[in-house]
């Protein structure tokens, strides 16, 4: 049985296991037009919003809460180490959190340096994804989720 | 930040690196030998030198080469105590201390404690600033109860900043 120790671990689990929205092209759900009615199974990963916009919004929120992913690739693990802070009490402890803080406080606390640091991390993750097309699916998914969270934090 | 401040900040950071390399030739050699291999990996576009100094120090900390670590950290402390520019301190806080504390914290508590124990007061303050932004208490950085008190002040200040905004 899976036990999630906290919301951040649950967010990480859901992001790895959350299927694409049923209205999108996905490999886990069949199209509503062609599939026969299936019994509803009470499981958190099937409890996705009907509206695709809400679905994406939920994934964005989950990424912001996601704890540091464990990467097998040493270079990706090193990027994750630089991006995530241990023992954060609020949020995930990622550079994305610091950017959200900078933007909320009108950049009066630490300038825009976390924003720039986020750009650096985005660049490193993009390069890693381009240089490692055959890396494990879990590593690539982790890199993509952290990348998306960093991009979202700047909006 | 005004253009004049930006120029001053960049110049100060350049002086910071130049002095570090003349004081620590081994560090300079390490950077020269490793910079090229990071170009394809999208290493920092802003301050690749900080990333490489962090790599170098991490290696030294993991190998317990305390003498050279202390000398470099003392140099950073000296520089911080002399620079009047808040922007320069901010850059060192985010691009150096934030990253190295994150990295060592992820390597293990013993390493982060060792690193923190070698910092001077200015450096410790920059690490504390980062802890407050992340609401994370770095091992060995705060006295008993100090973090909670500072965090409470930080929240109050944030509320005022949001109102101003």
What pLDDT shows up at residue A106? Answer: 66
Query: Which of A105, A143, A153 should we substitute to test contact with B (largest number of B Cβ atoms within 10 Å)?
Result: A105
Q: B136, A120: Cβ pair inside 8 Å?
A: no
DSSP string of B95-148, one letter each residue: IIIIHHHHHHHHH-HHHHHHHHHT--HHHHHHHHHHHHHHTB--TTTS-TTHHH
For residue A27, is pLDDT > 50?
A: no
Query: Which of A78, A117, A135, A146 should we substitute to test contact with B (largest number of B Cβ atoms within 10 Å)?
Result: A117
* Mean pLDDT (whole number) for B135-147: 95
For residue A10, is pLDDT > 80?
A: no
Q: B103, A111: Cβ pair inside 8 Å?
A: no
Q: Other CB atoms closer than 10 Å to residue B56's CB: what's the count? A: 20
Cβ neighbours of B98 in A, within 8 Å:
85, 95, 98, 114, 117
Scanning every residue of chain A, which has its alpha carbon at the shortest distance from the alpha carbon of B162? A105
* Alpha-carbon gap, residue A76 to A85, rounded angstroms: 16
What pLDDT shows up at residue A151? Answer: 94
ipTM: 0.85
* Alpha-carbon gap, residue B88 to A22, rounded angstroms: 50
- Indicate the domain borders of chain A: 7-65, 74-153
Residue A37: band (very low, low, confident or very high) from pLDDT cuts 50, 70, 90: low
For residue A115, is pLDDT > 50?
A: yes
For residue B162, is pLDDT > 70?
A: no
User: Which of these ranges, A92-96, A105-109, B59-63, B93-97, has the smallest mean pLDDT?
Assistant: A105-109
* Alpha-carbon gap, residue B135 to A91, rounded angstroms: 9
* Residue B165: strand, helix, or coil: coil
What pLDDT shows up at residue A79? Answer: 92
* Alpha-carbon gap, residue B106 to B124, rounded angstroms: 19
Q: A117, B107: Cβ pair inside 8 Å?
A: no
Q: pTM of the entire structure?
A: 0.79
Residue B160 lies in domain:
3-164
Q: Which percentage of chain A shows pLDDT scores above 90?
A: 32
């Amino acid at each position: 049985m899976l036990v999630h120790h906290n919301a951040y671990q649950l967010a990480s689990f859901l992001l790895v296991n959350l299927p694409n929205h049923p209205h999108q092209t996905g490999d886990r759900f069949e199209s509503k037009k062609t599939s026969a009615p299936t019994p509803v199974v009470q499981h958190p990963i099937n409890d996705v919003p009907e509206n695709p916009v809400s679905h994406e919004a939920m994934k964005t929120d989950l990424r912001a809460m996601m704890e540091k992913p464990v990467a097998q690739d040493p270079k990706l693990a090193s990027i994750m180490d630089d991006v995530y802070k241990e023992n954060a009490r609020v949020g995930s402890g990622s550079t994305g959190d610091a950017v959200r803080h900078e933007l909320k406080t009108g950049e009066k606390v630490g300038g825009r340096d976390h924003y720039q640091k986020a750009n650096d991390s985005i660049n490193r993750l993009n390069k890693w994804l381009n240089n490692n097309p055959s890396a494990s699916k879990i590593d690539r998914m982790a890199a993509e989720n952290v990348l998306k969270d960093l991009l979202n934090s700047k909006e | 930040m005004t253009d004049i401040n930006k120029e001053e900040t960049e110049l100060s950071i350049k002086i910071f690196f130049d002095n570090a390399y003349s004081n620590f030739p081994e560090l300079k050699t390490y950077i020269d030998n490793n910079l090229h291999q990071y170009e394809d990996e999208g290493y920092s576009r802003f301050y690749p030198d900080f990333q490489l100094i962090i790599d170098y120090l991490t290696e030294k900390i993991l190998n317990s080469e305390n003498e050279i670590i202390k000398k470099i950290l003392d140099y950073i402390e000296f520089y911080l105590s002399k620079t009047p520019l808040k922007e320069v301190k901010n850059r060192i806080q985010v691009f150096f201390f934030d990253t190295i504390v994150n990295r060592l914290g992820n390597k293990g508590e013993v390493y982060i404690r060792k690193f923190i124990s070698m910092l001077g007061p200015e450096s410790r303050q920059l690490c504390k600033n980062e802890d407050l932004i992340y609401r994370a208490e770095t091992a060995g950085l705060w006295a008993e109860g100090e973090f909670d008190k500072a965090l409470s002040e930080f929240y109050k200040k944030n509320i005022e900043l949001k109102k101003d905004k």
